[in-house]
Structure formats: structure tokens, C-alpha cells
């Protein structure tokens, strides 16, 4: 699904990602480990086109999204991202947060098709060969209605349907993060990237977020997760990437990594976190 080839990223003189190559397959649960400052967040941000790579390619569904000529918005829609600090819109209600992106994207699509039809009509006036109009089967109101139903179903799934109309500031950290996760699901992504999704939570709320992530993993969602939750990594990941100073030093099964780390850096890291 994603082929990262010789990915490099520098900020000015600072080389943060030095040479990253990795393949992510459909259904993979990849946990990215590594010391602070090793480039984990930058790696995820490059995957999601929030940073422009300085070199290399990221082939996502057959297209190089590291190429600046590519319309990244189209690809970003197929990639969810969940952040440490939730990044919910605080001036929108919970349900508005979930509906926002799907409604925006579908309304844009609708407008584009309507505009295309106007162009076709004008062209048809002057040419003998009449071009077919694009069938417009939906309206803005219908898009809104469908998105609302979907958002309610997602809230039901996490037991927060009674929170639909409140603002995020009234939620606990664990509730906020679960809302952020289902918000990313609302776009039906091919893959979800998580950057330390439980690091900002009080300890008693970590479990509810990890449980939701485990459920997604069981359903076959492809996930790339930066986390310090070693228990979760061992139990849920099918692959561990260990990053250090801008390189992937190790890539293997959790069993391989936790029981037989190869590099001294990984051994040292494990001795600190386990
Ligand atoms: P990690 O997530 O593994 O802790 P990061 O990817 O956040 O690491 O950061 C790796 C290195 O890149 C750090 O030294 C950090 O200071 C640097 N860095 C990250 N983002 C920027 C930026 N926008 N500008 C300059 N340096 C950055
Ligand atoms: Mg980070």
C-alpha cells in the first residue's frame, strides 16, 4: 500500500530523516519505536504530506506523493491522522468535528460535477457530437444528512452518542482522543497514522483509547503507530520499526525485536523502557 524509498528530510542544515525505506502492506499494524528526537513524528508527517520530503519517494496506492506536482489533498483523504493533542476543532461540536471533512469533500465533488456539466452543456451547443452529462444524484442537504447518520453511528460505536452536541472542551482526554479516532474513520481511510495517541492522557484513560485501536486492528485497518506503550506494541503490532537518528535501525516482528534486538541502540532503548 505504501512504499517508502530512500526518504530524506532536512530542516535547513539539520538532517532529520537520513535514508528511510520501508514497505507497508494492507492490514499491517506497524509500531514505530525510538528515542525522542529520532525522527518518528517527522516520518509520519512526511507520509501524510504535512512535510515536504527533501528526497526520495513515497508511493501510496501507486502514486508518488512526495512529488510536489501531485495533488496531495486527494491522497490525504485516504490517510487518517491522529495526534497526541487530539487536534479537535474546539469551536465546533463533537458531531460537527466528525462531519466536517466528509461533508467538505463530498460538497466539493458535487460542485465540481455541476461545473463540469455546465461546461459540457456549452460545448454541446456548438458541437454535433453531444457529450453525456454527469448524473447528479445527490444534493448538499442529502450529503449533510448522510454524514450526520454516519457520525452518529461512529459515536454510538464509542458509546458517546449523548455527547454529539457538546463542545470538545467538556470531554475527558480519553473521550477526546476516541472522538479524534472516529473522526478519522469518517473518511473511510485506507490507513491511519497515530502519533503518540496516548501520551497526553491521564493513565486511567489510556486503556479506553488502546482498546479502540485494538478493535480497529482486529477489523483489518492498516495502521502506523508511534507509541511508547510497549505492551500494546508486543500484543498488537505485526511489525516493529525501531528508529534512531533518522534511520530505521531495526524492522522485524515484535518477538524478534523485543527478545533479540540486534543493535546496541535498540538494546539500550529497551533497557530503559522495559
Ligand atoms: P520524534 O518524534 O522521534 O521525537 P521528531 O521527528 O519530532 O522526533 O524530531 C526529530 C528532529 O527533528 C528533532 O531534533 C527536532 O528538533 C527536529 N525537527 C522536527 N521538526 C522540525 C522543524 N519543523 N524545524 C526544525 N527542526 C525540526
Ligand atoms: Mg514525536
Mean pLDDT calculated for residue range 205-225: 98
Residue 238 has pLDDT above 90, yes or no: yes
Compute the distance between CA of residue 268 and CA of residue 34 in angstroms, rounded to an integer: 11
ipTM: 0.98
Of ligand 1's atoms, which has the minimum distance to the CA of residue 226?
A: 2
Q: What is the mean pLDDT of the chain?
A: 96
Per the document, the length of the chain is: 274
DSSP readout, the chain? Answer: -EEEEEEEEEETTEEEEEEEEEEE-TT-EEEEE--TTSSHHHHHHHHTTSS--SEEEEEETTEETTSTTS-HHHHHTTEEEE-TT----TTS-HHHHHHHHHHHHHHHHHHHHHHHHHHHHHHHHH-SSPPPPPP----HHHHHHHHHHHHHHHHHHTT-GGGTTS-GGGS-HHHHHHHHHHHHHTT--SEEEEESTTTTS-HHHHHHHHHHHHHHHHTT-EEEEE---HHHHHHH-SEEEEEETTEEEEEE-HHHHHHS--SHHHHHHHHHH-
pLDDT score for 242? 98
Sign of torsion over alpha carbons 109, 59, 251, 14: negative
Residue nearest (by alpha carbon) to ligand 1 atom 21: 11
Residue 241 has pLDDT above 90, yes or no: yes
Of ligand 1's atoms, which has the minimum distance to the CA of residue 34?
A: 3
Whether 127 lines ligand 1, by a CB cut-off of 6 Å, is no
Query: For residue 157, how far is its CA from the centre of ligand 2 (angstroms)?
Result: 29
Percent residues over pLDDT 90 in the chain: 95
Compute the distance between CA of residue 160 and CA of residue 158 in angstroms, rounded to an integer: 6
Mean pLDDT calculated for residue range 212-226: 98
- Tens of pLDDT along 66-122? 988 888 888 888 999 999 999 999 999 999 999 999 999 999 999 999 999 999 999
Q: How confident is the model at residue 193 (pLDDT cuts 50, 70, 90)?
A: very high
Of ligand 1's atoms, which has the minimum distance to the CA of residue 12?
A: 25
pLDDT score for 68? 83
Compute the distance between CA of residue 77 and CA of residue 80 in angstroms, rounded to an integer: 7
Question: Which one of the ligands is nearest to 196 CA?
Answer: 2
Residue 4 has pLDDT above 90, yes or no: yes
Question: Which one of the ligands is nearest to 50 CA?
Answer: 1
Query: For residue 21, how far is its CA from the centre of ligand 1 (angstroms)?
Result: 19
Whether 45 lines ligand 1, by a CB cut-off of 6 Å, is no
Residue nearest (by alpha carbon) to ligand 1 atom 19: 42
Residue nearest (by alpha carbon) to ligand 1 atom 22: 11
CB 184 within 8 A of CB 192: yes
Whether 38 lines ligand 1, by a CB cut-off of 6 Å, is yes
Whether 36 lines ligand 1, by a CB cut-off of 6 Å, is yes
- Beta carbons within 8 Å of 238's beta carbon, 6+ residues apart: 28, 29, 30, 253, 254
Mean pLDDT calculated for residue range 131-147: 96
pLDDT score for 91? 98
CB 222 within 8 A of CB 26: yes
Residue 39 has pLDDT above 90, yes or no: yes
Percent residues over pLDDT 70 in the chain: 100
Whether 227 lines ligand 1, by a CB cut-off of 6 Å, is no
Query: For residue 231, how far is its CA from the centre of ligand 1 (angstroms)?
Result: 26
Q: How many CB atoms lie within 10 A of CB 1?
A: 16
Amino acid at each position: 500500500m505504501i512504499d517508502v524509498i530512500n526518504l530524506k528530510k532536512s530542516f535547513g542544515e539539520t538532517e532529520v530523516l537520513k535514508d528511510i525505506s520501508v514497505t507497508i502492506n494492507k492490514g499491517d499494524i506497524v509500531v514505530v519505536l525510538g528515542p525522542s528526537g529520532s525522527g518518528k513524528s517527522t516520518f509520519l508527517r512526511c507520509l501524510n504530506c504535512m512535510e515536504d520530503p527533501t528526497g526520495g519517494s513515497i508511493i501510496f496506492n501507486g502514486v508518488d506523493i512526495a512529488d510536489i506536482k501531485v495533488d496531495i489533498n486527494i491522497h490525504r483523504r485516504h490517510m487518517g491522522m491522529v495526534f497526541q493533542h487530539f487536534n479537535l476543532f474546539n469551536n465546533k461540536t463533537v458531531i460537527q468535528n466528525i462531519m466536517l471533512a466528509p461533508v467538505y469533500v463530498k460538497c466539493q465533488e458535487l460542485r465540481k460535477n455541476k461545473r463540469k456539466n455546465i461546461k459540457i452543456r456549452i460545448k454541446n451547443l456548438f458541437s454535433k457530437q453531444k457529450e453525456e452529462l454527469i448524473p447528479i444524484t445527490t444534493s448538499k442537504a442529502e450529503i449533510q444528512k448522510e454524514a450526520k447518520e454516519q457520525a452518529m453511528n461512529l459515536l454510538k460505536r464509542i458509546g458517546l452518542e449523548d455527547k454529539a452536541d457538546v463542545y470538545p472542551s467538556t470531554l475527558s482526554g480519553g473521550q477526546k482522543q476516541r472522538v479524534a479516532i472516529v473522526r478519522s474513520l469518517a473518511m473511510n481511510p485506507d490507513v491511519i497514522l497515530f502519533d503518540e495517541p496516548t501520551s497526553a492522557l491521564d493513565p486511567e484513560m489510556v486503556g479506553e483509547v488502546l482498546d479502540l485501536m485494538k478493535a480497529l486492528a482486529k477489523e483489518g485497518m492498516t495502521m502506523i503507530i508511534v507509541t511508547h506503550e510497549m505492551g500494546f506494541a508486543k500484543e498488537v503490532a505485526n511489525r516493529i520499526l525501531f528508529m534512531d537518528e533518522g534511520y530505521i535501525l531495526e524492522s522485524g516482528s515484535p518477538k524478534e525485536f523485543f527478545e533479540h534486538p540486534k543493535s546496541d541502540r535498540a538494546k539500550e532503548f529497551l533497557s530503559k523502557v522495559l
